[in-house]
Amino acid sequence: MPFEQLTNQLAVAARDLGSENVKVTLEKAVALAVDLIEGCDSAGVSLVHRGKRLDTPASTDDSVLHGDKLQYDLQEGPCMDAVWDQEIVISPDLAHDDRWPTWAPRVVEELGVRSMMCIQLFTDEKRLGALNLYSKRTDGFTHDGDSHEGLALAAHVAVALASAQEIEHLETGLRNRAVIGQALGILMERFGLTEDRAFQVLQRVSSQTNRKLLLIATELVHTRRLPASVDLQGGTPPHELSAPGSALPLSGH
């Protein structure tokens, strides 16, 4: 594909990529890779999670999931190199590539994959993962412009993914704050507490039960109950916050 034509198509696609949530953004990205890059038969995105854990949240078919998982399990393969070390990794013929002596022969035999191109997904702030392109033919990504097309696509995908993740995190944060606010409101209304004292109650319950404050707040909103084992002042608080005549023993209140 002429590079100018690819650039125009990427400009159109980029307007859509970041307009959805992370899952939809990634699904569009891998479909776009197969459509735009001639040698690409299937594609997937590897993402890095906390603790350097990798997974493949979007792929065009099950062979990609299998090929990627083999890389994660064996800790070798072009995707692993692209995620951690190199901007782009190309293998013209996996059957004769000794960089991955265990992984490469298995994907050739089990999946019929013969060549790959993996491109690091990154922004200026952080590395995100890799775009993995699979081909059933040798030299699938050695034509003029393949690497330029892949890098151009990966750049758009990385920016769109970072944007979608940021929006998703903001939305999650807003939802979490809303749940905590509802839990505070229940405690304030039922027991005449100030907002600060109500928040102290949630903190104390979280500490005594060794569970996250958000989880305590969510359960309180849904069940109107506090854990039976919580001891806020040498006693057990009521479990049914809506029970007539119930009182929550709070020091200083």
Cα–Cα distance, 59 to 8 (Å, whole number):
24
What is the CB-side half-sphere exposure of residue 143 using CA atoms within 13 A?
14
pLDDT in tens, 53-109: 999 989 999 999 999 999 999 999 999 999 999 999 999 999 999 999 999 999 999
Does residue 202 or residue 91 have the better pLDDT?
91
Sign (positive or negative) of CA dihedral 186, 189, 195, 198: negative
DSSP 39-87: T-SEEEEEEEEGGGEEEEEEESSHHHHHHHHHHHHHT-SHHHHHHHT-S
Which residues form the domain of 135? 3-165
In a domain, 22, yes or no: yes
What is the pLDDT confidence band of residue 37, given thresholds at 50, 70 and 90? confident
135 and 54, same structural domain? yes
Residues linked to residue 130 through DSSP beta bridges, in sequence order: 46, 120
Sheet with 127-135, side-by-side order of all strands: 53-59, 42-49, 127-135, 115-122, 88-91
What per-residue confidence (pLDDT) applies to 56?
Answer: 93
Cα–Cα distance, 44 to 111 (Å, whole number):
15
Does residue 177 or residue 111 have the better pLDDT?
111
196 and 158, same structural domain? no
130 and 216, same structural domain? no
159 and 210, same structural domain? no
**Per-residue tokens: 164:** 């979608």
205 and 159, same structural domain? no
138 and 230, same structural domain? no
What per-residue confidence (pLDDT) applies to 248?
Answer: 43
214 and 151, same structural domain? no
**CA distances in angstroms from 129 to 29, 46, 64, 173, listed in the order given:** 13, 5, 15, 23
208 and 117, same structural domain? no
In a domain, 172, yes or no: no
What per-residue confidence (pLDDT) applies to 140?
Answer: 94
151 and 58, same structural domain? yes
In a domain, 211, yes or no: yes
Q: Which amino acid is at 153?
A: L
Among residues 70, 142, 130, which one has the least CA distance to residue 100?
A: 70
- DSSP at 114: -
> Would you tell me how many other CB atoms lie within 10 Å of the CB of residue 5?
10
Task: Report whether 212 contacts 201 (CB < 8 A).
Answer: no
What is the pLDDT confidence band of residue 240, given thresholds at 50, 70 and 90? very low
pLDDT in tens, 114-163: 999 999 987 545 667 899 999 999 999 987 778 888 888 888 777 777 66
Which residues are CB-contacts of 219 (< 8 A; sequence separation ≥ 6)?
A: 225
153 and 226, same structural domain? no
Q: How much is the mean pLDDT over the chain? A: 79
What per-residue confidence (pLDDT) applies to 141?
Answer: 93
In a domain, 142, yes or no: yes
Q: What is the mean pLDDT of residues 39-50?
A: 91
Three-point CA angle 104, 110, 115, nearest 5°: 45
CATH code of the domain covering residue 95: 3.30.450.40
Residue 239 pLDDT greater than 70, yes or no: no
Backbone angles phi, psi at 88, to 5 degrees: -145, 140
In a domain, 100, yes or no: yes
Residue 38 pLDDT greater than 50, yes or no: yes
Give the H or E element holding residue 10.
helix 3-17
143 and 106, same structural domain? yes
Q: Determine the angle formed by the axes of helices 22-36 and 3-17, rounding to 10 degrees.
A: 160
What per-residue confidence (pLDDT) applies to 115?
Answer: 97
The number of folded domains in the chain is 2
